């Protein structure tokens, strides 16, 4: 079983990558082969709206997207990660999504795969849930079955969202922490990895 994570952050190895890796680590513990792709390390151009993919499942742009598409087609599960930028995905993640149009226009080539989404943000209640919903809606368009995890125990959050907010200091100013300190968001991300493996196994029988 292969699970591929795709990071839409402009900053490789930072918060979003770490949250994705938490999901992958948990999936690996359950037996999956895992890989993390940093879009920022690849040459992926914008979709230019040539509409070639309306006639055949092909994109004429000669760049690294073709390798990413091959890996997506080989994977059983795909985890997408993005920072929350103005209550939406990063421009890099959006550009990637647009370039998947050849996987969608003739038929949904990713249909039946299992998806999962994670988001990092500066603040709670500042758009991250909408960003998560954008990623999950992308999966819906592609007929990828998205997992929504819930770690055991009392309700502590609403998805694999990790934030940098660390409360207010005595003067009322915001205190920041590394996104890695959001143990709730990371618990959700780990649960996502586990749940994806379980669902892939169930769908395989
Ligand atoms: C252009 C820009 C827009 C942002 N918009 C929001 C926002 O709307 N809400 C929020 O909570 N954080 C926002 N942030 C903070 C990022 O979501 C946060 O820094 C994120 O965790 C960075 O992920 P990374 O470490 O992978 O780069 C924004 C940051 C930038 C640079």
The predicted-structure confidence for 129-155, as pLDDT tens digits, reads as follows 999 999 999 999 999 999 999 999 999
Alpha carbons within 13 A on the beta-carbon side of 13: 1
- Give 170's DSSP letter: T
What's this model's pTM, rounded to 2 decimal places? 0.98
Q: Report CA(46)–ligand 1 centroid distance (Å).
A: 22
Contacts with 187 (C-beta within 8 Å, 6 or more apart), sequence order: 151, 156
Tell me the residue range of the domain where 22 lies. Answer: 2-204
Q: Report whether residue 11 contacts ligand 1, using a CB cutoff of 6 Å.
A: yes
Ligand 1 centroid to residue 61 C-alpha, Å: 29
Q: How far is it, in rounded angstroms, from Cα 44 to Cα 39?
A: 8
176 lines ligand 1 (CB under 6 A): no
User: Over the stretch 10-26, which tens digit does the pLDDT of each residue have?
Assistant: 999 999 999 999 999 99
Per-residue pLDDT at 79: 99
> Domain tally for the chain?
1
Write the CA distances from 13 to 24, 32, 54, 103, integer angstroms: 14, 21, 36, 28
Work out whether strand 145-146 and strand 77-83 pair parallel, antiparallel, or are unpaired.
Answer: unpaired
135: nearest Cα among 23, 14, 34: 23
User: For each of the chain's 205 residues, which pLDDT tens digit applies?
Assistant: 999 999 999 999 999 999 999 999 999 999 999 999 999 999 999 999 999 999 999 999 999 999 999 999 999 999 999 999 999 999 999 999 999 999 999 999 999 999 999 999 999 999 999 999 999 999 999 999 999 999 999 999 999 999 999 999 999 999 999 999 999 999 999 999 999 999 999 999 9
CATH number at residue 161: 3.40.50.360
Determine the distance separating the centroid of ligand 1 and the alpha carbon of 121, expressed in angstroms. Answer: 5
């Amino acid at each position: 079983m292969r699970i591929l994570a795709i990071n839409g952050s402009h900053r490789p190895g930072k918060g979003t990558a770490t949250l994705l890796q938490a999901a992958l680590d948990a999936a690996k513990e359950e037996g999956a082969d895992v890989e993390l792709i940093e879009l920022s390390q690849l040459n992926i151009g914008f979709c230019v709206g040539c509409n070639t993919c309306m006639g055949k499942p092909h994109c004429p742009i000669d760049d690294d997207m073709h390798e990413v598409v091959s890996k997506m087609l080989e994977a059983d599960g795909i985890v997408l990660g993005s920072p929350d930028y103005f209550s939406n995905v990063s421009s890099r993640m959006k550009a990637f999504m647009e370039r998947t149009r050849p996987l969608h226009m003739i038929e949904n080539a990713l249909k039946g795969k299992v998806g999962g989404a994670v988001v990092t943000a500066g603040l709670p209640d500042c758009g991250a849930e909408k960003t998560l919903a954008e990623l999950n809606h992308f999966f819906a368009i592609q007929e990828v079955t998205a997992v929504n995890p819930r770690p055991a125990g009392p309700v502590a959050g609403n998805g694999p969202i990790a934030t940098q907010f660390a409360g207010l200091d005595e003067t009322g100013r915001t205190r920041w922490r590394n996104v890695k300190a959001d143990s709730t968001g990371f618990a959700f991300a780990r649960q996502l990895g586990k749940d994806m493996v379980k669902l892939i196994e169930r769908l395989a029988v």
